[in-house]
A and B are shown apart, each in its own frame.
Chain A
Amino acid sequence: MNSAASRSGRWVDIANPTRFLDLAGRLLPWLAGLSTLALVAGLWMSFQAPDDYQQGSTVKIMFIHVPFAWLSMMCYTIMTLAALGTLVWRHPLADVSAKAAAPIGAVFTALALITGSLWGKPMWGTWWVWDARLTSVFVLFLMYLGIIALNRAMDDAAKAARATAIITLVGFINIPIIKFSVDWWNTLHQPASVLRAGGSTIDGSMLRPLLVMALGFTLLFFTLHVMAMRNEIWRRRITAMRRIAARGAERGRAE
């Protein structure tokens, strides 16, 4: 079997919820342990990092603000991939993944906005400005909430999944706008300084803790995501079992 076929085979394997639960059970302790390790190491490293010559110690907000902002976009991208999975391949877990990711993404976006606001007060002298980056992230936050509201409003899980997937795909337009807003418009928010052509503009002593923190929060995200997916699968099983039990009880009464 060539590698592409075996990979698609693995994806089909996971489609069986029992296998997924198995895999999740085995994976979760590792994910949780690694993310704790990375977060503790990242925190220790960020307190060791030197203060900025202009910003003083407030620069340490960066070590949590930047990972939150990255994750808010990564989570939406994962939801978009899941939406494609729902609409194109009809993967049964894609819709579980999208539904589980939305609240986590909303929380990370809110945290990015809050930490950014706390950082903006001493640096820019204001809690909030309506510049392109901040506004587009705020729009992202509203879209997360809209998607969650839409998903909760429908009773039928399959229909809710399709509707949510379409809205998620349409809303993906916002992600490139967020990424490039600092290049397209002249904004108060600084332009990209880590992932840019020609290398990072951040000194190694600050970049290293930042990357470790980003890794830690990414692992944390996947831990929470897998846990939420597991919960969702269990919830659906319970609903299905209740229905079967109710049907059985009715039949028993009829006899």
Chain B
Amino acid sequence: MMALFVRDVRLGLRAGGGALVAVLFFLAVIAIVPFAVGPDLKLLARIGGAMLWIGALLASLLGLDRLFQADRDDGSLDLLIMADRHLLPVTVLVKCLAHWFVSVLPLVLAAPLLGLFMNMEPKAIGATTLTLLVGTPAITFIGAVGAAVAVALPRGGLLVSIIILPLTIPVLIFGVSAAYGAMDASAAFLPPFLILAAITLFFAVLGPIASAAALRGSAD
């Protein structure tokens, strides 16, 4: 399993800088926000946490269709499915973690810098980054289901996004409300944050199991 993790991380880092593109996309989305809502610093500070979340969500959807597709193209996906039939969910979990480590963690690391662009306070930046760190794995796990279902499709990328965006709404809701909880004295930080952590753990179980079932169905 560790070998698989290292292999996936290496492939992800080598294969044409997909992570860098995601970070650039994140940067572009955040840079567009002030053009759309106007350069009012107070307003930007207020909506900053939500904008960071939306940007990170969209950017993390970008590379999802490659999660299984690259392995399917070179045939190693069939080997993985055949190798350990009973542990396939664990294999998927490891692949998800590797994908998160390579493509999504850079987004989380870039979030504080983009938070400065949005004129957010240090405390709010810290809270938003923390919620992103805890919440984005859930997006990857949900996305794995969509990626596994659409793995046989030639242009599945857009379809994956359409299918999984409705399912990521709870993550977005609790992530943003925890980020606001840290900014605003009247709102609480801990309850939404704990629910966010629970959602991540829940999808860490459900996502790999469902995508393993889908992968088995798509193998031919």
Q: How many angstroms from the CA of A167 to the CA of B213 in the assembled complex? A: 11
Size of the chain B interface, CB-CB below 8 angstroms: 23
Q: Residue on B with the closest CB to A169?
A: B210
Residues of B within 8 A of A147 (CB): 163
Q: How many angstroms from the CA of A174 to the CA of B150 in the assembled complex? A: 21
Residue contact B162 to A139, C-beta cutoff 8 Å: no
Given contacts A142-B165, A143-B166, A150-B163, are A166 and B153 in contact (CB under 8 A)? Answer: no
The yes or no answer to B80 lying at the interface (CB within 8 A) is: no
* B206-220 contacts to A (CB < 8 Å): 206, 210, 213-214, 217-218
Residue contact B213 to A150, C-beta cutoff 8 Å: no
Q: How many angstroms from the CA of A159 to the CA of B142 in the assembled complex? A: 20
Residues of A within 8 A of B169 (CB): 135, 139
Residue contact B163 to A162, C-beta cutoff 8 Å: no
Say which size band chain A's interface belongs to.
Answer: 20 to 34
Residues of B within 8 A of A167 (CB): 145-146, 149, 163
Residue contact A153 to B153, C-beta cutoff 8 Å: yes
* B188-213 contacts to A (CB < 8 Å): 206, 210, 213
- One of A154, A163, A170 near B167 (C-beta < 8 A): A170
Residues of B within 8 A of A149 (CB): 159, 162-163
Q: How many angstroms from the CA of A169 to the CA of B207 in the assembled complex? A: 11
The yes or no answer to A146 lying at the interface (CB within 8 A) is: yes
Q: How many angstroms from the CA of A169 to the CA of B214 in the assembled complex? A: 12
Residues of A within 8 A of B146 (CB): 167
Q: Which residues of A contact B (CB under 8 A)?
A: 87, 135, 139, 142-143, 145-147, 149-150, 153-154, 159, 162-163, 166-167, 169-171, 173-174, 177
A-B pairs with beta carbons under 8 Å apart, 16 shown:
A143-B167, A149-B163, A150-B149, A150-B159, A159-B152, A162-B214, A162-B217, A163-B217, A166-B210, A166-B213, A167-B145, A167-B146, A167-B149, A169-B210, A170-B145, A177-B170
